[in-house]
Amino acid sequence: MADVEEAELSEKQKKEIAKWFFLNSPAGEIQYVAKDVKAILDNEELYNESASESFPLYNKSHMICLEMPGRMGDVLITSFGELNENEFLDPRTAQVATVDHIKQVCTKVRPAMDEELPSSYIEEFRCALDAELLKYVGEAYPKGVCSVYCTNGKDVEGPGFDFELAVVISAARLSPQNFCNGSWRSVWNIEFKDDDQMLELRGKLQVGAHYFEEGNVQLDAKHECRDSTVFQSPDDCAITIASIIRHHETEYLASLEASYSNLPDTTFKDLRRKLPVTRTQFPWHNTLQFSLTRDITKELGIGK
């Protein structure tokens, strides 16, 4: 049982608690959580502080997608594209979006400066992969958005050096009117190793879903995988990487489906069976028999 008699909390502790609620919000629900946290804190200043510290973290970890003004397309809010707290690079359009984290909107865009972009050598690999990925994501995720970032060695001018790209795929489906929200997030790190002419891939996949009509049920699934391939031309690298990602993500979806289909008869059974061991409903009308058995076992001293 929780300890009720706690000493008065400091402002700092209250802020930490508020942040805990913000950061544990399911996909697409932080604004609703914010409203409730505001009502509970009942302190504008404290609320503003905790919100301004939490929203950027939430937006980046959920890799939310915001529309850029002027029909520039969408920008993903990720730590890979973060130039400073409110500016995020969209590598595809080479635009930098200014973001209002709490309102979760993009307020303006500007063209990226040369030093914010990778070298033309890296861009060849990045663009080729982005194009392949767009095809794959377009086919596999109805609401998917993807982006390819250079996370290491962006100024490498030609062969002879290592560099790293990161692929982000983010798909969210928000349907609060049907009491259901969910998101799929993939991050793939690809190390281009010049020395041994290899590509090392590390994928982190995360899927969440929340259903809350007269209840609160949540899925939280995570998976990590690795793969590798040979260093080739930018176009060939792009095709191979996209097909490796497709392969692993398709397999992962299949394993999620398998986990679901195992539920009724195996997994769930270890919590509670659908039917009793006897396979008939419990004989409540005849419980006297149990009392008799109990008395007998007691008398004979054979009880457990």
From the list 56-64, 69-77, 78-86, 133-141, the region that binds another protein by CB under 8 A is 133-141
At closest approach, how far in Å is the CB of 36 from another protein? 4
Answer yes or no whether residue 188 interacts with another protein by CB under 8 A. Answer: no
Question: Closer CB to another protein, residue 189 or residue 229?
Answer: 229
Q: Counting contacts by CB under 8 A, is residue 9 touching another protein?
A: yes
One of 100, 139, 155, 236 touching another protein (CB under 8 A): 139
Residues between 245 and 274 with contacts to another protein, criterion CB under 8 A: 246-247, 249-260, 262-264, 266-274
- Identity of the amino acid at 232: Q
Burial (CB count <10 Å: 0-12, 13-18, 19+), residue 138: exposed
Site string for another protein, 152-171 (x = CB under 8 A): -------------------x
Distance of CA 52 to the CA centre of its chain: 21
Least distance (Å) between residue 130 CB and another protein:
20
108 vs 290, beta carbon nearer another protein: 290
- Check: CB of residue 58 under 8 Å from CB of residue 202: no
Q: What is the DSSP string of 24-84?
A: TPPTT-HHHHHHHHHHHH--HHHHHHHHHHHHHHHHHHTT-EEEPTTT--EEE--GGGEEE
279: left (phi over 0), alpha (psi -120 to 50) or beta: left
Residue 230 Cβ, how far from another protein at the closest point, in Å?
A: 8
Q: Is 173 in the site for another protein (CB under 8 A)?
A: yes
The mark string for 211-250 relative to another protein (x by CB under 8 A, - otherwise) is xx-xxxxxxxxxxx----x-------------xx-xx-xx
In degrees rounded to 5, what are phi and psi of residue 217?
A: -125, 130
151 binds another protein (CB under 8 A): no
Interface of this chain with another protein, residues 190 to 209, rule: CB under 8 A? 205, 207, 209
d(CA 236, CA 83): 30
| Cα 148 to Cα 170: distance, rounded to the nearest angstrom | 12
Site membership for another protein, residue 183 (CB under 8 A): yes
Count, residues near another protein per rule CB under 8 A: 96
